[in-house]
């Protein structure tokens, strides 16, 4: 199967070489890799240029944006700029972070999953992060059927159906909800272990703390589901502050009538899906 990679990159001089080397070691290479240099101020662009000279699958796109490392719109805007360099001659497309080391057979296995299941919309492995002890430990705070934003692979049909990626915090949740709305399946593969070299959110600006609550509002969760989801998050993170930040973010978004990411019909589906999952877990 043919696939494209788009990699938004902001100040990743410490990790970028490892990511690009792991791409070149893949048993099935991508047709093209778009490297979006998103306003980097370190040696990122020089590293990109080295790899472009090394292999023609790499293409560079320079993007000017905020210097702040924020989740959501910044990374998706960079992704979308890279997307403009690609045609529709692919079977699946991948949004990949620039601080990962992939197993050599990663995309061969992902390709096989898409081949075997024509209804598969989004697929990915599991992310591991290194502790001070040196051990690589699974870091997957969400449900095990959720594909992390760092490694999202979309079938072409699914990517088109959901309208691409939403330029907002929560893009890597609403994409899966919309995929299910359109009848696609989500699959994770625990045999695919990806090393994440920078712990999630480590470089994010403090302003990002309340964006999760805003995202829950814009995905039309409603207040009660937002409270339940935020409590679950707080318990997993062992941080009561994350609960209060989420609720403040939600209420502030409601007060300011923030633009919804989904239609009313999609929102109804999302709430029903969330309630179904909550009831299932209570009964388990």
Q: Residue 118 maps to which CATH number? A: 3.90.550.10
Could you tell me if 217 and 261 are in contact, meaning their C-beta atoms sit under 8 angstroms apart? no
Across the chain, mean pLDDT equals 92
Number of domains comprising the chain: 2
Q: Which of 43, 275, 8 is nearest to 165 (CA)?
A: 8
Domain-embedded: residue 238: yes
Q: Considering the entire predicted model, what is its pTM? A: 0.92
> CB count, 10 Å around CB of 255?
9
Is residue 202 situated within a structural domain? no
pLDDT exceeds 80 at position 199 = no
Clarify whether residues 159 and 229 are in a common domain: no
64 pLDDT above the threshold of 90:
no
Q: Give 152: exposed, middle or buried? Use CB within 10 Å, 0-12, 13-18, 19+.
A: buried
Q: Which of 107-121, 126-140, 203-217 has the highest mean pLDDT?
A: 107-121
CA 69 to chain centre: 15
228: containing domain? 207-283
Residues 141 and 38 in one domain: yes
pLDDT digits (tens, 9 = 90+) for 16-60: 999 999 999 999 999 999 999 999 999 999 999 999 999 999 999
139 and 8, same domain (yes or no): yes
Same domain, 149 and 243: no
- Same domain as 177, residue 83: yes
Contacts of 86-90 with C-beta under 8 Å, sequence gap 24+, read 86/4, 86/6, 86/32, 86/34, 88/156, 89/2, 89/31, 90/2, 90/3, 90/4, 90/31, 90/156
Domain assignment present for 91: yes
Same domain? For 146 and 236 the reply is no
- Is 90 found in the same domain as 148? yes
The answer as to whether 52 is a domain residue is: yes
pLDDT, residue 141, reads 64
Instruction: Name the residue with higher pLDDT: 266 or 145.
Output: 266
């Amino acid at each position: 199967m043919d696939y494209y990679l788009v990699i938004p990159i902001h100040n990743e001089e410490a990790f970028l070489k490892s990511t690009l080397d792991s791409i070149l070691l893949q048993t099935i290479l991508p047709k093209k890799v778009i490297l979006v240099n998103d306003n980097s101020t370190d040696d990122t662009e020089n590293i990109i240029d080295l790899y472009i000279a090394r292999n023609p699958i790499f293409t560079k796109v320079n993007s000017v944006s905020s210097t702040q490392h924020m989740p959501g719109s910044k990374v998706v805007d960079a992704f979308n700029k890279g997307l403009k360099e690609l045609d529709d001659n692919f079977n699946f497309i991948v949004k990949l972070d620039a601080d990962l080391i992939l197993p050599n057979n990663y995309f061969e296995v992902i390709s096989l999953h898409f081949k075997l299941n024509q209804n598969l919309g989004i697929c990915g492995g599991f992310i591991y992060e290194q502790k001070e002890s040196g051990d690589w430990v699974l870091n997957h705070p969400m449900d095990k059927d959720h594909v992390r934003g760092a490694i999202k692979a979309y079938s072409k049909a699914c990517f088109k159906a959901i309208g691409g990626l939403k330029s907002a915090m929560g893009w890597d949740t609403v994409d899966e909800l919309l995929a299910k709305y359109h009848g696609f399946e989500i699959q994770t593969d625990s045999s695919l272990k990806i090393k994440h070299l920078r712990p999630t959110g480590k470089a994010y600006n403090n302003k990002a703390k309340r964006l999760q609550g805003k995202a829950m509002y814009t995905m039309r969760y409603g207040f009660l589901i937002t409270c339940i989801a935020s409590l679950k998050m707080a318990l997993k993170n062992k941080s009561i502050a994350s609960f209060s930040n989420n609720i403040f973010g939600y209420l502030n978004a409601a007060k300011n009538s923030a633009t919804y990411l989904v239609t009313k019909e999609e929102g109804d589906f999302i709430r029903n899906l969330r309630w179904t999952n909550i009831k299932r877990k209570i009964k388990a």
